[in-house]
Amino acid sequence: MDGPTAAILKLLVPRIPFIFKTIAAHSLWMSDTSSLWNLRSELTIKILRDILLNGPPTTITKQQKGAMKDPGIKGNMWVSKVTMPAPLEDDARQLLFQIIEELKEGEITYKQPPPQPLEAEWTGYRANAKPNAPELPISEAEKYDRMMEETTSPTTLLYLHGGAHYLMDPCLYRDFASRMGKSTGGRVFNVRYRLAPQNPFPAAVLDALMAYLALLYPPPGSHHKPVRAQDIVFAGDSAGGNLAVVLLIVVTHLHQNSPSTCPTVVFNGQTVDVPLPAGCAVRSPWLDMSRSMPSIMGNLAIDYLPPPDKERSQTEATPPCSVWPADPPRVTLYCEGNALLHPLTSPLAQKSWAHAPPMYFSLGEEMMLDEALVVAQRAARQGAVVDVDFFAKMPHVFSMLLDSLPASDVCLDKYAAFCKNVVERPAEVVSKARSIAPKTLAETEMDVKALAPAELTDEKVRELMLGGQKYQFERFEEETKKKEMMKNKGGAKL
């Protein structure tokens, strides 16, 4: 029995009674989602929820190893792997640190990540290939050229994958990226950014910024020619959606500081412009690291993610390994506790969306809904073009998990359409918002400037975020004291 099959059986066999119970409840229309999802979708979400909530504690390194297994390259996809050298000078890196300082409110703690080469995968659609057609035995540069021969649009997605900032890899997004290539006629630049906890904030943000500059101004060894900013869409899902919006904040902040001229930076020996991209498109973005908005608890029944108290307990119960706990210990895997409310960790804290290009949000009725609605609404009220699709009764990043649902196809088609239109027909992209029913897919118009619950004023949002940060600090301090007491008891016995 191969490794993956054995691992799946190990997860499912203990849950056979739970699986049969779920099947019976769905078949008898006794579950809350029987009328909303098909049986396959209900099993997927409820088994995943049970694993995330009740699975045995596992080391971070083991989780990472299991979540980054390369599925290989076959079928209707071109994949060209590339590694680009770090820039010759330190200007872009120092520019990011300067922006972090300018956006902070109060002191925050973070380590300045070192420069390193940038890894990514160019992915596009390979027409006329059979589903199991192997990857061609040609060079990475030739694969890129073959991919470009099939592109019909300049649309380029700078894609940042999901995975809670510490899991997943571009290799797991190849099918999605190939589909985006087919739907847009363009290509996807899928960035292998540095993961926490080994590389905490702002390492991934730095990698995202370097990826944008590398698209605009190809470093030595690149396969691509310079990509125009008006052809680039910042894109991502979940934690990658966070990074896409954070990258947008970085670039728009530069333009807010330089409203009359395009900001510049020295990159690979040249002073270059840092222009605005065509747009930003995110699915189920994680925009509040404090996890404090009402939907976090209010939408538990639809979603599968653990609530903050359970997540905190799981973090505390995680067996130690070579990468976690950090040394010195910190509150979260991704960042220090005093950085939780910084706009470049939690874009929900960003106040100004001046100069923002068009933004697209694809959302489910998920735990992270409110934070996305507040950001979208705030940007729209400040004059940005904002396009929102809200899929009722759908969980976090549902289009990746529930691919048998018609709503998932609609979600991905709308996502691709925005990316294509904002590049090819930007004048036609206007602010709008729709609520989409789960089975009929009927659309109801929403007011893009009144998306979030009325009680979520800017003041209330700040108050809730501070409360969420305080909760995480308190739990962290309690756990630290508990571990110290256990350590002292052990020493006394010796």
Could you give the CA distance from residue 386 to residue 356 in angstroms, rounded to a whole number? Answer: 10
Task: Name the residue among 375, 376, 369, 400 with its Cα closest to residue 303.
Answer: 369
- Residue-level pLDDT at 40: 80
- Which residue, of 41, 65, 89, is where some domain finishes? 65
Same domain? 324 vs 396: yes
Q: Is the dihedral of CA 300, 456, 370, 305 positive or negative?
A: negative
Same domain? 22 vs 77: no
- Residue-level pLDDT at 36: 76
Q: Please name the amino acid found at residue 194.
A: R
Task: Name the residue among 187, 38, 170 with its Cα closest to residue 126.
Answer: 187
pLDDT tens per residue, the chain (494 residues)? 444 555 555 565 566 676 666 676 666 565 677 677 777 888 888 888 888 888 888 999 999 998 999 999 999 999 999 999 999 999 999 999 999 999 999 999 999 999 999 999 999 999 999 999 999 999 999 999 999 999 999 999 999 999 999 999 999 999 999 999 999 999 999 999 999 999 999 999 999 999 999 999 999 889 999 999 999 999 999 999 999 999 999 999 999 999 999 999 999 999 999 999 999 999 999 999 999 999 999 999 999 999 998 887 777 778 999 999 999 999 999 999 999 999 999 999 999 999 999 999 999 999 999 999 999 999 999 999 999 999 999 999 999 999 989 999 999 999 999 999 999 999 999 999 999 999 899 999 999 999 999 999 999 999 999 999 999 999 999 888 887 777 777 655 54
Same domain? 14 vs 148: no
- Which residue, of 42, 65, 88, is where some domain finishes? 65
3-state secondary structure string, the chain? CCHHHHHHHHHHHHHHHHHHHHHHHHHCCCCCCCCCCCHHHHHHHHHHHHHHHHCCCCCHHHHHHHCCCCCCCECCEEEEEEEECCCCCCHHHHHHHHHHHHHCCCCCCCCCCCCCCEEEEEEEECCCCCCCCECCCCCHHHHHHHHHHHCCCCCEEEEECCCCCCCCCHHHHHHHHHHHHHHHCCEEEEECCCCCCCCCCCHHHHHHHHHHHHHHCCCCCCCCCCCCHHHEEEEEECHHHHHHHHHHHHHHHHHHHCCCCCCEEEECCEEEECCCCCEEEEECCCCCCCCCCCHHHHCCCCCCCCCHHHHHHHHHHCCCCCCCCCCCCCCCCCCCHHHCCCCCCCHHHCCCCCCCCCEEEEEECCCCHHHHHHHHHHHHHCCCCEEEEEECCCCCCHHHHCCCCHHHHHHHHHHHHHHHHHHHCHHHCCCEEEEECCCCCCEEEECCCCCCCCCCCHHHHHHHHHHHHHHHHHHHHHHHHHHHHHHHHHHHHC
Q: Quick check: is 483 in a domain?
A: no
Task: Name the residue among 136, 388, 92, 491 with its Cα closest to residue 254.
Answer: 92
Same domain? 43 vs 82: no
Q: Write the CA distances from 269 to 218, 276, 417, 427, integer angstroms.
A: 12, 21, 37, 35
Positions marked active-site: 238
Same domain? 200 vs 121: yes
Q: Please name the amino acid found at residue 345.
A: T
Same domain? 222 vs 368: yes
Q: Quick check: is 481 in a domain?
A: no
Could you give the CA distance from residue 439 to residue 460 in angstroms, rounded to a whole number? Answer: 34
Q: Quick check: is 484 in a domain?
A: no
Same domain? 157 vs 237: yes
Same domain? 293 vs 253: yes
- Residue-level pLDDT at 2: 47
Q: Quick check: is 463 in a domain?
A: no
- Residue-level pLDDT at 494: 46
Could you give the CA distance from residue 439 to residue 407 in angstroms, rounded to a whole number? Answer: 7
- Which residue, of 409, 424, 446, is where some domain finishes? 446
Q: Quick check: is 453 in a domain?
A: no
- Residue-level pLDDT at 34: 66
CA 253 from centre of chain: 21
Q: What angle, 0 to 180 degrees and rounded to 10, lies between the N-to-C axes of helices 39-54 and 3-12?
A: 90
Domain of 252, in residue numbers: 72-446
Same domain? 43 vs 105: no
Q: Quick check: is 457 in a domain?
A: no
Q: Quick check: is 469 in a domain?
A: no
Same domain? 14 vs 111: no
Number of domains making up the chain:
2
Same domain? 144 vs 23: no
Same domain? 430 vs 381: yes
What tokens does 42 get? Answer: 């209900």
- 115 prior amide bond cis, ω within 30: no
Q: Quick check: is 471 in a domain?
A: no
CATH number at residue 334: 3.40.50.1820
The pTM of the full predicted model, rounded to 2 decimals, is 0.94
